[in-house]
């Protein structure tokens, strides 16, 4: 099962690792890697997460900066165990799934509104 969340909010986070750790109780940041996607600078955060049932899941977030905004794509791999998704060797079984994060892009100036 693949979960993808995309959020857009104003940049107020002092550091990427502390933002990621604060998104969910039980989340442990494995490492942070700088990335450039769609011409935007940002970071990819690999993490593990302990669920309420005590299971370990792996995940990765891509955080891209744009003008006064931070765009976040969060990918979780339920029942995946402890896999560092920023390590190419460890993440090899999930290479196709991780293409979702690799394709995450920011297109500014599209004037698309989101209804809630």
Question: Which tokens belong to 27?
Answer: 């989340």
Q: 116 lies in a domain?
A: no
**Which CATH number do you get for residue 38?**
3.40.1000.10
Residue 110 has what pLDDT? 65
Q: Would you state the structure tokens that stand for residue 82, as one six-digit string?
A: 């402890």
State which residues form the domain around 61.
3-102
107 found inside a domain: no
In a domain, 114, yes or no: no
Q: Note whether residue 37 is domain-resident.
A: yes
CB 60, CB 72: distance < 8 Å: no
Number of domains making up the chain: 1
Q: For residue 41, is it within any domain? A: yes
Whether residue 7 lies inside any domain: the answer is yes
* pLDDT value of position 58: 92
Residue 108 lies in a domain: no
> For 82-108, what is each residue's pLDDT tens digit?
889 999 999 899 888 889 898 888 877
Model's pTM, two decimal places?
Answer: 0.78
| Strands laid side by side in the 27-37 sheet | 3-10, 69-77, 56-66, 40-50, 27-37
pLDDT in tens, 9-67: 444 344 778 888 888 888 999 988 888 888 888 889 999 998 888 889 999 999 888 77
**Residue 100 φ/ψ region, left for φ over 0, alpha for ψ in the -120 to 50 degree band, beta for the rest:** alpha
Which pLDDT belongs to residue 47?
94
């Amino acid at each position: 099962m693949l979960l993808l969340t995309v959020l857009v909010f104003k940049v107020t986070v002092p550091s990427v690792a502390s933002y990621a750790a604060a998104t969910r109780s039980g989340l442990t940041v494995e490492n942070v890697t700088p990335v450039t996607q769609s011409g935007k600078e940002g970071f990819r955060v690999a993490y593990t997460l302990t669920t309420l049932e005590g299971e370990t899941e792996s995940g990765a977030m891509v955080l891209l900066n744009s003008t006064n905004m931070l765009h976040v794509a969060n990918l979780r791999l339920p029942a995946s165990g402890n896999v560092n998704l920023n390590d190419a060797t460890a993440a090899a079984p999930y290479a196709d799934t991780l293409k979702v994060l690799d394709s995450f892009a920011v297109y500014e100036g599209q004037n698309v509104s989101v209804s809630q």
